Amino acid sequence: MSKTEITAISVSPGVGVGKAWVVSDEKIQAGKPRRIDVDSIPSAVNDFEAARSRAIKTLSHIQAATAKELGIQDAAIYGAQIAVLQDPSALDEIQKGIREKLLTPVSAIHAVIKKFEGIFESMEGGDMKTWAADLRDPWQAVLRELLEEKTRHFMELEGSIVLIAGELLPSLPTRFPRERIAAIVCERGGRYSHGAVVARSFGIPTVTGADQATSIVEAGSLCVVYADEGQVRVGATTDEVDAAERLSAERESVRAEFEERAKEPGCVGADHPLRISVNIESPRDLDLFSKDIVEGVGLFRTEFAYMERANFPTAQEQEDLYRGILKHFGDAPVVFRTLDVGNDKQLRYFQMPQENNPAMGWRGLRMSLQWPDILLMQIQALVKAREYGDVRMLLPMVTNVEEIRQVKRLIEQVAGRADALPLGAMIEVPSAAMALKDIMDEVDFLSVGTNDLAQYLFAVDRDNPWVADLYQPYHPAHLRVLRFIGNTCRMAGKPISVCGEMSGQRAGALFLAGAGFDQLSMAPPFVPEIKAILREVSIQELRVLARKAAACATNLEAFRLLEDAAEIAWQSALKRSGKESGKT
């Protein structure tokens, strides 16, 4: 039996086995200065130097990976961070702090951070806060090296890694070499948070709500993560590891089988076409799946290209990025969603306002319309990218028709014609759902963001664990809104897709197909199973099912109804493939 078991909530399915790596994202606070005795000076200096060189090694690794994926310019920020850790005057101060003031390395670093912050605070002009942060962040990395992970270094751990972290941030899955991450275990972060979205598109088994995992789990201990069940076994025995690896291999074989079949176009039953497309965030996602299993990209979240850089990307850089994606998909449509930052998606080089309620604040299209230069540059890049493929532009967080009209004027300004780009609106704010008919008249297509629509419909922050129980995408109140949207668009012949996470859930996919949607866009790992299930049912059956689910009284009742139908369809798909045992 493993030494410890932690119960958590499933975020991204799968089984992962690896050694634990405990990540800390907390800012390490100074506290009272602590001292050492004279005899400890040499070992304190050694500890400091070892931690500093480990931090530099990690930053160099991230710098190289970023340069490879995004280009040298974007990797420059890590070079600057390394330079901060090599600054002779800071090193001299820290050494003196240890040798002369007998401070621990941690206290000596804090003293230097405080000194530099004091200097910036007394200066006028420029963005002093940002400069202070630029200086503090790399030293925080050294502090983490000194305080956590019990001297073990990520690069020194061999084989697969299970990341144990506080918060499931969108940057977490991208900070480490992907091929080494077997699973992610987090203490905090909603199932529908953007960190969860990224983990799912990477296909990394992930759980959240693992209470105190960063304190309980020792770095280097062997962990087995059963993400579907939300189970983490820490200090796993050889038998437990063998069993998990067997299950993982079985699932992989089922997945490979269905991936092969997924090359057929999406269809409900034998004859009702339903487009299946993918949600992606970056060109690096393209290596994770075969483009032959999807009919284009239903959602390209352009904000990730902004979030991973040191500066706003230029129009040329954006065009290059869009061209790469379009070329990869040939003639298939690619829906580029314009910048959707704010709330948990922040740009490190752009100061967002401090808001009491950021999810309802200055984000998405609202920000782009107030800073039209940013949107104009994006429109320019998209207009140019039309030469390379089927470009479509999607607006996030649309609240009313006037916003769409403003965007059309900007398109006209760039391209001379308001209809130069096929334009779509996301329906993810309840007011947009209620004004559906007016919005429909202004755009070429619509896409429903169920992640945010549910958040705003129930007034429940999608990231807040205190109210997570009230975030209920299968609640009939939400299903009724979705059915209204799907059926209204179907009758009007307006293309309508769903790009929220419900599309990639088997219960969600069955409901949405029955509710009138003609396209489902999802994280790539879910495509094979969803396509297989949809083939086992008829559209008439699903329309009845969707009506019944929307008529239920509770989230659980509706979910059970849909999930039972999905399980029957899945068993039938397995039987057809001759693989009757597992789940993908």
Give the one residue of 14, 449, 495, 504 binding Mg ion; rule: CB under 5 A: 449
Min CB(396)–Mg ion separation in Å: 6
Instruction: Tell me which amino acid residue 311 is.
Output: N
For the bound state, the minimum distance from the C-beta of residue 451 to ligand PEP, rounded and expressed in Å, comes to 3
Alpha-helical segments (H) within 420-503: 430-434, 436-442, 450-458, 476-492
Q: Which does 301 bind (CB under 5 to 8 A by kind): ligand PEP, Mg ion, none?
A: ligand PEP
Residues 409-428 interacting with Mg ion (rule: CB under 5 A): 428
Measured CA to CA, the distance from residue 268 to residue 29 in angstroms comes to 56
CB contact set of 569 (below 8 Å; sequence gap of 6+): 506, 510, 533, 534, 536, 537
Measured from the CB atom, the residue of 18 and 342 that comes closer to ligand PEP is 342
Nearer Cβ to ligand PEP, position 352 or 551? 352
> Helix 105-122 and helix 41-70: axis angle, to 10°?
60
Q: Are 562 and 475 in contact (CB under 8 A)?
A: no
Q: Binding partner of residue 584 among Mg ion, ligand PEP, none, CB under 5 to 8 Å per kind?
A: none
Residues 271-300 that bind ligand PEP (CB under 6 A): 299
Phi-psi region of 236 (alpha: psi -120 to 50; beta: other; left: phi over 0): beta
Measured CA distances, 129 to 40, 79, 350, 351 (Å): 36, 20, 12, 10
Site string for ligand PEP, 38-77 (x = CB under 6 A): ----------------------------------------
Among 12, 368, 451, 505, binds ligand PEP (CB under 6 A): 451
Q: How far apart, in whole angstroms, are the C-alpha atoms of residue 147 and residue 28?
A: 9
- Of the listed pieces 325-333, 384-392, 432-440, 449-457, which binds ligand PEP according to CB under 6 A? 449-457
Q: How far is the CB of 397 from Mg ion (least distance, A)?
A: 7
Report the candidate in 534, 3, 490 with the shortest Cα–Cα distance to residue 233. 3
User: What is the nearest approach in angstroms of ligand PEP to the Cβ of residue 500?
Assistant: 3
Crossing angle of the two packed helices 527-535 and 555-577, in degrees rounded to 10: 90
DSSP state of 312: P
Cα separation, 541 vs 557, in Å, equals 18
Q: How many residues form the binding site for ligand PEP (CB under 6 A)?
A: 11
What are residue 559's phi and psi, to 5 degrees?
A: -65, -45
Minimal distance, residue 558 CB to ligand PEP, in Å: 19
Q: Which residues pair with 7 in a beta bridge?
A: 231
For residue 100, what are its two tokens? 């002369």
Beta bridge partners of 172: none
**Binding site partner of 149, from ligand PEP, Mg ion, none, Cβ cut-off 5-8 A by kind:** none
Q: Which of 476/500 has CB closer to ligand PEP? A: 500
Extract the runs of DSSP E, i.e. beta strands, from 30-180: 161-167
- The nearer residue to Mg ion, 337 or 408, going by C-beta atoms, is 337
State which of residues 149, 285, 452, 529 lies at the interface with Mg ion (CB under 5 A). 452
For ligand PEP, the binding residue among 301, 478, 506, 531 (CB under 6 A) is 301
144 vs 462, beta carbon nearer ligand PEP:
462
Residue 499 binding: pick among Mg ion, ligand PEP, none (C-beta 5-8 Å cut-off by kind): ligand PEP
* Shortest distance, position 74 Cβ to ligand PEP, whole Å: 21
User: How far is the C-alpha of 165 from the C-alpha of 509, rounded, in Å?
Assistant: 31
In the complex with ligand PEP, which residue's Cβ is closer, 44 or 530? 530
Which of 412, 569, 552, 440 has its CA nearest to residue 506? Answer: 569
User: Given the complex with ligand PEP, which of 285 and 452 has the nearer CB atom?
Assistant: 452
In degrees, rounded to 5, the angle at the alpha carbon of residue 497 between the alpha carbons of residues 496 and 502 is 140
C-alpha to C-alpha distances, 519 to 248, 250, 422, 498, 577, nearest whole angstrom: 30, 30, 16, 7, 25
Binding partner of 110, given ligand PEP, Mg ion, none, CB within 5-8 angstroms per partner class: none
Nearer residue to ligand PEP within complex by CB, 380 or 455: 455
Q: Which of 8, 75, 197, 213 binds ligand PEP (CB under 6 A)?
A: 197
Verify binding: residue 452, ligand PEP, rule CB under 6 A: yes
Judged by CB, which is closer to ligand PEP: 343, or 380?
343
Contact code string over 147-186 relative to ligand PEP, x by CB under 6 A: ----------------------------------------
Give the binding range for Mg ion (CB under 5 A) out of 140-148, 448-456, 511-519, 535-543: 448-456
Of 405, 404, 412, 349, which is closest to residue 380 (Cα–Cα)?
412
Binding to ligand PEP in span 314-343, by CB under 6 A: 340
Contact yes or no for 512/486 (Cβ under 8 A): yes
Residue 339 interacting entry, from ligand PEP, Mg ion, none, C-beta within 5 to 8 Å by type? none
Tokens of 394: 């999607």
Which of residues 52 and 345 has its CB atom nearest to ligand PEP in the complex? 345
**Strand 4-7 versus strand 231-234 pairing type:** antiparallel
DSSP assignments along 22-86, one per residue: EE--SPPP--S--B--GGGHHHHHHHHHHHHHHHHHHHHHHHHHHHHHH-HHHHHHHHHHHHHHT
**Least spacing, CB of residue 449 vs ligand PEP, in Å:** 3
Identify the H or E element spanning 9.
strand 9-12
Residues 6+ apart with CB under 8 A from 257: 577, 579
Residues 471-530 binding ligand PEP (CB under 6 A) are 499-500
Q: Which positions touch Mg ion (CB under 5 A)?
A: 428, 449, 452
Q: Which positions touch ligand PEP (CB under 6 A)?
A: 197, 299, 301, 340, 428, 449-452, 499-500
